[in-house]
Amino acid sequence: MKKIKLYGIPNCDTVKKAKKYLDNNGVDYEFINFKKEAPTKALIKRWTQDLGEIPVNKRGTTFRKIKDEFEGSTQAGQINVLVENSSAIKRPILEKADKVLAIGFKEADWSEIKL
């Protein structure tokens, strides 16, 4: 089993850049497609603990559709909203050994990560 996991959706430009970066650097990773394998509540809770905040993409079109429901909910409710609307999760999320290494993609930041 691969140690590095990359979570996201395949048609996202930022995810495409992240995958290309990993491929170009010879990193063996597993891609988890939110569209085929929706994140669980437990996974989103773990990401929230690692990041110190819920990994929500407030700039995306999906978030605009769920903004009122999301913002009017408790943290548990917000996590439920993200389970149902995985496209609103900030992406990509890069993990190693069940710990978040990065969220989003900036090549300069990723070049500092020990993969």
pLDDT at 1: 54
CATH at 11: 3.40.30.10
CA–CA gap between residue 30 and residue 26 (Å, rounded): 13
Residue 95 lies in a domain: yes
Residue 32 lies in a domain: yes
pLDDT at 89: 96
Residue 115 lies in a domain: no
pLDDT at 2: 64
pLDDT at 99: 93
Kind of pairing, strands 4-8 and 93-96? antiparallel
Which pTM value belongs to this model? 0.92
Enzyme catalytic residues? 12
Task: Starting at the earlier edge strand, list the strands of the sheet with 29-33.
Answer: 29-33, 4-8, 93-96, 99-103
Q: Which domain holds residue 71?
A: 4-110
Report residues of the chain scoring pLDDT below 50. none
pLDDT at 3: 87
Residue 13 lies in a domain: yes
